[in-house]
Amino acid sequence: MSEQTTSRFTSQKPEDIEWRVNVARVDAAIEGMVRDPILAAHMDRMRAAGATTEERLKFVSEYFPNDVMSAAE
């Protein structure tokens, strides 16, 4: 793996973060995990509005029932 590719995994540059998001989406699709379209649209709106990572994580943790989140662990 090249040094440039390796740094994309830890970089906080917006383009590298977006690259990691897209990689995660592709990996999920390969595994047959379907994105929740309502959640995805809301997260896109939050991201565009400048919501922090903490704000987005809080929303996700409140969006899913506790039994769904614990089943994923």
More confident of the two residues 24 and 72:
24
Does this model's pTM top 0.85? no
Position 57 confidence tier, pLDDT thresholds 50, 70, 90: confident
Which of 35, 38, 39 is closest to 61 using CA atoms?
A: 39
- Average pLDDT (58-72) is 71
